[in-house]
């Protein structure tokens, strides 16, 4: 180590620390970042804890195992839609049509199964492709013609509701009772499979993090202290095992029919979370999405095809929105003409923003959608249990969205003031 | 010195936008290991000339020679492929990315489809080291936390990283304080000393006289003079910039067709 330091000093590069030395330093650096306005997911995690305490005290059933499983499945479609929106928000754009586009894809899937007798796999692929096509058209209009995404997707929001009406028929709905599709939100993994999956994920995560840490130390690259890495692994293990433990309890009110195990929607969310995190954080495409969101002109000068990035982002967003639409259909047992409309999209935007994704572009992660989606679903679920009138639900959710956007705007201003 | 082949040479370049004839028969040469300053008043055509070199607005007529060979440059990618790096006035860095990410933007190293962060970080650190950059705390620092001088440094270091042969700097000290200007000028000198051909576009004659080996003055889209810095005084250069000629300077104003 000694010769590395002297080498660095000779080159006049002594200030380049490759490690903040101790756990204490890292904590201090984190506190500094938060105070400087780089709060990330912190407000939403704090909010989630507060919501759990408040609803837990207000209603006995809120913290029951049955309700926790309900909450997870309710949150599923919101989280997936929010995850779809994160890359669009990263560009500083918005996709108001994602909710309706998702349900249009789900309706195509449902009709292929019900009216045309197709298998579920073919129907799902067709549904996803519907989303892909809608996304490409949106992306081309935004990127090539330069119409603000707000306007293009508002037009699609209205237009696609018409398409949905035409597909399904006035006042009708498509029943989703195909076992695989319906099973996403309504069946559970076996208890054993749940435990195995949780342990495998923890072991793989821990191994990857430790290997990465060792490689960075070996190559003298910038890295976090080992203690921080271990804290992260332990925290992740505790959360994952905790969730598995709760969901593997029997939560049935009828002793003759035990209900236990992790609802399939959770592993679906986990897989999508891993995929999106990888795509945004570890691939060139993801790097370019951040670059375009941060400074589109700089990205263009660096030789990045900004239009292509924009089109690809809208394409992925709408395709992923169809996944959310399918989960929603599975949960509700049908696709109706109102599916994906109303507040579906705003819930998802709210989820992403509450989770720490900036509406100004350039800042956000797929994991933000998970925490934010849980906050939104908790509000809806908790207020529902308290049997409040639905107007309260709307007002509170709107208020929370506004609060999140305010936190976003203020922390952005603080960031530019402190230069973080 | 001038008898060595210029790294980059423009001969008789013309450029019009509609009826507006912006560049008239412009000649420009950039030599290895030298800082050539491009000076001129607002509207003299400096930016257009830079964009012509960069391939953003390809010239209408005229020759573009790189290392003595005629080449055609039709876009920023062609220029980059030749080894020409342009550091723009408004820096073109992404605030939300860190130093390493910015230096490799658009040219990321990869392992299969995964970004190769280790290689990129090590190379970026090496490039900054070679320029004796001592003010940056960490290469993983977000660019938004850097001062104006540091940002300029990162932008310039990018050209070292990519082994550029010619570096165009558009007003690199325009927004900087005294100490930061000092740092950037030192950096420009070191860059040239390493054999790179540097074109420095600047309004600030103090800066120009400090680092430039040659001065090319533009006046209303024409080259008013192309002289060695040691042969001229600051007053003469001001005259060249404002009137296109200098009474007591031994350079003939180039013949111009009347507009």
pLDDT digit string, tens, across residues B227-248? 888 888 888 888 888 887 776 6
Q: How far is A13 from chain B (nearest CA, A)?
A: 5
Residue A374 contacts by C-beta under 8 Å, 6 or more apart in sequence?
A: A48, A71, A75, A79
Query: What average pLDDT does the segment B20-29 reach?
Result: 86
Question: What is the gyration radius of the CA atoms in chain A, in angstroms?
Answer: 23
Beta bridge mates, A319: none
Q: Measured between CB atoms, does A89 come within 8 Å of chain B?
A: no
Residues of B in contact with A294 (CB under 8 A): 94-97
Residue recorded with tokens 């936390």: B145
User: Quick check: helix, strand or coil at residue B38?
Assistant: strand
Domain regions of chain B by residue span: 8-92+164-243
Residue recorded with tokens 């679903």: A377
* Confidence grade of residue B54 (pLDDT, cut at 50, 70, 90): confident
Predicted pLDDT at A275? 93
pLDDT digit string, tens, across residues B143-164? 888 877 788 888 888 887 888 8
| Interchain CB distance below 8 Å, B107 and A301 | no
* Confidence grade of residue B259 (pLDDT, cut at 50, 70, 90): very low
Query: What average pLDDT does the segment B68-86 reach?
Result: 83
Mutation target among A412, A419, A420 for the B interface, most CBs of B within 10 A: A419
Indicate the DSSP class of residue B14.
Answer: E
Predicted pLDDT at A134? 95
Tokens of B237: 């250069």
Nearest CA in chain A to B145: A419
Indicate the DSSP class of residue A340.
Answer: T
Nearest CA in chain B to A360: B96
**Which ipTM value was assigned to this complex?**
0.80
Mutation target among A295, A356, A364, A411 for the B interface, most CBs of B within 10 A: A295
| Interchain CB distance below 8 Å, A11 and B122 | no
Beta bridge mates, A388: none
Q: B interface toward A at CB cutoff 8 Å?
A: 76-77, 80, 86, 88, 90-97, 101, 105-108, 110, 113-115, 117-118, 121-122, 125, 128-129, 132-140, 142, 144-146
> Using an 8 Å Cβ cutoff, are B93 and B142 in contact?
no
Nearest CA in chain B to A306: B106
User: Quick check: helix, strand or coil at residue A327?
Assistant: helix
| A-B contacts (CB, under 8 Å) | 108
User: Quick check: helix, strand or coil at residue B9?
Assistant: strand
DSSP H/E element including B114: strand B114-115
Mutation target among A12, A208, A298 for the B interface, most CBs of B within 10 A: A298
> Using an 8 Å Cβ cutoff, are B218 and B224 in contact?
yes
DSSP H/E element including A150: helix A149-168
Nearest CA in chain A to B51: A301
In terms of pLDDT, which residue wins out, B224 or B175?
B224
What does the mean pLDDT of chain A come to?
84
Query: What average pLDDT does the segment B59-75 reach?
Result: 84
| Interchain CB distance below 8 Å, B96 and A290 | yes
Predicted pLDDT at A19? 55
Nearest CA in chain B to A302: B106
Among partner residues B93, B108, B122, which is closest to A295 by beta-carbon distance? B93
Query: What average pLDDT does the segment B15-33 reach?
Result: 87
Q: How far is B208 from chain A (nearest CA, A)?
A: 26
Buried b / exposed e along A249-288 (16+ C-beta atoms within 10 A): bebeeeeeeebbbbbbbbbbbbebbeebeebbebbbbbbb
pLDDT digit string, tens, across residues A254-285? 777 778 888 888 989 999 999 999 999 999 99
Residues of B in contact with A36 (CB under 8 A): none
Enumerate residue ranges in chain A where pLDDT < 70. 1-23, 34-40, 416-420
* Options 1.10.3720.10, 3.40.640.10, 3.40.50.300, 3.30.2270.10; CATH of B8-92+164-243: 3.40.50.300
Among partner residues B80, B96, B129, which is closest to A294 by beta-carbon distance? B96
Q: How far is A420 from chain B (nearest CA, A)?
A: 5
Q: How far is A358 from chain B (nearest CA, A)?
A: 11
Q: Measured between CB atoms, does A216 come within 8 Å of chain B?
A: yes
* Confidence grade of residue B258 (pLDDT, cut at 50, 70, 90): very low
> Using an 8 Å Cβ cutoff, are B64 and A250 in contact?
no
């Amino acid at each position: 180590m000694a010769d590395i330091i002297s080498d660095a000093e000779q080159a006049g590069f002594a200030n380049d620390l490759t490690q903040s030395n101790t756990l204490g330093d890292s904590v201090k650096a984190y506190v500094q970042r938060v105070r400087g306005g780089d709060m990330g997911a912190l407000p939403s995690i704090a909010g989630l804890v507060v919501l759990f305490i408040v609803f837990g005290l207000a209603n006995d059933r809120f913290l029951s195992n049955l309700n926790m499983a309900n909450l997870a499945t309710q949150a599923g479609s919101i989280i997936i839609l929010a995850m779809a929106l994160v890359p669009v928000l990263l560009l500083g754009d918005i996709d108001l049509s994602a909710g309706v586009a998702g349900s249009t894809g789900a309706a195509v899937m449902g009709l292929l199964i019900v009216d045309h007798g197709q298998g579920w796999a073919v129907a799902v692929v067709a549904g996803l492709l519907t989303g892909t096509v809608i996304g490409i058209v949106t992306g081309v209009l935004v990127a090539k013609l330069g119409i603000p995404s707000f306007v293009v997707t508002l037009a699609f929001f209205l237009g696609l509701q018409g398409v949905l009406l035409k597909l399904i028929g006035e006042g009708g709905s498509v029943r989703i009772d195909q076992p695989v599709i319906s099973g996403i939100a309504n069946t559970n993994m076996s208890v054993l499979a749940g435990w195995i999956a949780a342990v495998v994920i923890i072991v793989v995560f821990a191994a990857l993090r430790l290997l990465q840490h060792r490689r960075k130390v070996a190559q003298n690259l910038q890295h976090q202290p080992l203690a921080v890495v271990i804290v992260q692994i332990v925290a992740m293990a505790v959360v994952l095992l905790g969730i598995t433990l709760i969901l593997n309890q029997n939560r049935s009110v009828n002793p003759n029919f035990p209900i236990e195990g992790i609802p399939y929607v959770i592993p679906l969310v986990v897989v999508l979370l891993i995929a999106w995190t990888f795509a945004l954080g570890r691939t060139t495409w993801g790097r370019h999405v951040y670059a375009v969101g941060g400074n589109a002109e700089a990205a263009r000068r660096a030789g990045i095809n900004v239009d292509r990035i924009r089109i690809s982002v809208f394409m992925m967003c709408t395709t992923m929105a169809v996944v959310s639409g399918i989960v929603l259909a599975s949960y509700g047992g049908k696709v109706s003409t109102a599916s994906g409309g109303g507040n579906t999209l705003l819930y998802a935007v709210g989820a992403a923003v509450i989770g720490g994704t900036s509406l100004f572009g350039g800042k956000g992660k797929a994991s933000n959608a998970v925490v934010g989606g849980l906050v939104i679903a908790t509000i809806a679920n908790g207020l529902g249990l308290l049997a409040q009138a639905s107007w309260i639900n709307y007002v509170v959710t709107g208020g929370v969205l506004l609060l999140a956007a305010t936190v976003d705007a203020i922390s952005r201003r603080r960031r530019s003031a402190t230069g973080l | 010195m001038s008898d060595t082949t210029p790294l980059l040479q423009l001969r008789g370049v013309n450029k019009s936008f509609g009826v507006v004839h912006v560049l008239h028969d412009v000649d420009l040469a950039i030599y290895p290991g030298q800082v050539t300053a491009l000076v001129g008043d607002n509207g003299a055509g400096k930016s257009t000339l830079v964009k012509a070199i960069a391939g953003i607005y390809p010239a209408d007529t005229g020759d573009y020679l790189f290392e003595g060979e005629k080449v055609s440059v039709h876009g920023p990618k062609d220029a980059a492929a030749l080894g020409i790096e342009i550091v723009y006035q408004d820096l073109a860095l992404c605030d939300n990315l860190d130093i390493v990410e910015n230096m490799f933007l658009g040219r990321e190293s990869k392992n299969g489809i995964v970004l190769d962060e280790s290689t990129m970080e090590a190379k970026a650190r090496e490039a900054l080291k070679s320029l004796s950059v001592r003010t940056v705390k960490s290469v993983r620092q977000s660019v938004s936390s850097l001062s104006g001088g540091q940002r300029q440094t990162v932008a310039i270091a990018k050209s070292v990283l990519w082994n550029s042969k010619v570096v165009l700097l558009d007003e690199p000290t325009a927004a900087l304080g005294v100490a930061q200007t000092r740092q950037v000028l030192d950096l420009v000198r070191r860059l040239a000393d390493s054999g790179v051909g540097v074109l420095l576009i600047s309004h600030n004659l103090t800066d120009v006289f400090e680092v430039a080996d040659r001065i090319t003055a533009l006046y209303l889209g024409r080259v008013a003079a192309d002289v060695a810095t040691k042969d001229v005084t600051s007053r003469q250069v001001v005259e060249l910039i404002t009137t296109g000629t200098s009474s007591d300077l031994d350079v003939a104003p180039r013949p111009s067709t009347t507009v």
